[in-house]
C-alpha cells in the first residue's frame, strides 16, 4: 500500500529530511553534502529519501523555497496592492532571509537563492499588478513584475554588500517613490488618454 504525500507520517519524514539537510548545510559546503550524509542524519534509508526528492538539488530548492515562503509570508500579499508598505515588507523579508541563510549556509547557494527569490517575487508582483490594473495587457504586467523582482532583489544585494548599517526599510524607502511614480504615471497617462 502506498502512502499519500499528504499523509502526516509522510509529511513528518519529509520535514526530518529537510531539517537534517539544513543542519548539515551549516556544517559543510553544499558540494560536500551527500545523500548518505542526509540519510544518516535523518535516520532513513536511500529509498525514503528518493521517495521525497529527486536528488540533492531538488532537496536544496524545496528547502530554500519553504524557508523563503515562511520568511515572506506570501499570504500577506494575496489581497494587497503594490504600494510603499508592500514593497518595504518584501524588502525586509528578502534581507532577513539572506541574513538568516548567511549564518547557516555557505556561498554555494547564492545562485539558487537568487533564482528562488526572483521567481517568487515575480509571481507576487504579477498578482498585485493584475489586481491593481485588471484591464492592462497581461504581457506588460509580466514584464513589469520581472523588472520589479530583479530590481528589488538587486537592491537587497546592494544593501547586504554596502549598507548593512542602514535599516532595510530606510534603505528601500528612498527608492520607492521612483518605483511607484512609474506605475502611477502610466495609470495617469491612460486616464488622460496619452500614449506611453
- Residue 56, sorted as left (phi over 0), alpha (psi -120 to 50) or beta, turns out to be alpha
CA atoms 95, 100, 102, 106: torsion sign: negative
Q: What's the pLDDT score for residue 194? A: 45
Q: Counting beta carbons within 10 angstroms of the beta carbon of residue 150, is it exposed (0 to 12), middle (13 to 18) or buried (19 or more)? A: middle
| 15 touches 38 (CB < 8 A) | no
Closest alpha carbon to 187 in 86, 78, 83: 83
SS3 153: helix
Q: Are 88 and 153 in contact (CB under 8 A)?
A: no
Res 16: pLDDT: 94
Residue 80: helix, strand or coil by DSSP? coil
Three-state DSSP class for residue 177: helix
CA atoms of 184 and 180, how far apart (whole Å): 6
Q: List, in order of start, the domains of the chain with CATH numbers.
A: 8-53 (1.10.10.60), 61-192 (1.10.357)
Total residues found in the chain within this entry: 196
Over the chain (196 residues), what is each successive 10-residue block's mean pLDDT?
69 91 82 92 95 91 78 64 85 82 61 82 88 87 92 90 86 87 55 47
Residues 193 and 159: their CA atoms lie apart, in Å, by 39
The pTM of this model reads: 0.70
Burial annotation 42-65 (CB, 10 A radius, 16+ → b, else e): bebeeebbebbbeebeebbbbbbe
The pLDDT of residue 105: 56
Amino acid at each position: 500500500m502506498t502512502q499519500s504525500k499528504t499523509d502526516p507520517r509522510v509529511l513528518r519524514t519529509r520535514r526530518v529530511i529537510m531539517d537534517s539537510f539544513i543542519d548539515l548545510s551549516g556544517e559543510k559546503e553544499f558540494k560536500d553534502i551527500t545523500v548518505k550524509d542526509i540519510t544518516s542524519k535523518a535516520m532513513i534509508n536511500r529509498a525514503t529519501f528518493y521517495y521525497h526528492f529527486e536528488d540533492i538539488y531538488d532537496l536544496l530548492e524545496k528547502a530554500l523555497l519553504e524557508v523563503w515562503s515562511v520568511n515572506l509570508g506570501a499570504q500577506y500579499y494575496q489581497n494587497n496592492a503594490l504600494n510603499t508598505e508592500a514593497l518595504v515588507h518584501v524588502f525586509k523579508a528578502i534581507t532577513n532571509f539572506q541574513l538568516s541563510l548567511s549564518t547557516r549556509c555557505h556561498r554555494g547557494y547564492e545562485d539558487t537563492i537568487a533564482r528562488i527569490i526572483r521567481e517568487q517575487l515575480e509571481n507576487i508582483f504579477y498578482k498585485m499588478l493584475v489586481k491593481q490594473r485588471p484591464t492592462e495587457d497581461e504581457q506588460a504586467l509580466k514584464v513589469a513584475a520581472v523588472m520589479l523582482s530583479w530590481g528589488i532583489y538587486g537592491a537587497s544585494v546592494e544593501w547586504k554588500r554596502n549598507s548593512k548599517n542602514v535599516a532595510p526599510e530606510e534603505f528601500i524607502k528612498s527608492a520607492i517613490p521612483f518605483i511607484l511614480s512609474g506605475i502611477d504615471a502610466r495609470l495617469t497617462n491612460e486616464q488622460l488618454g496619452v500614449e506611453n
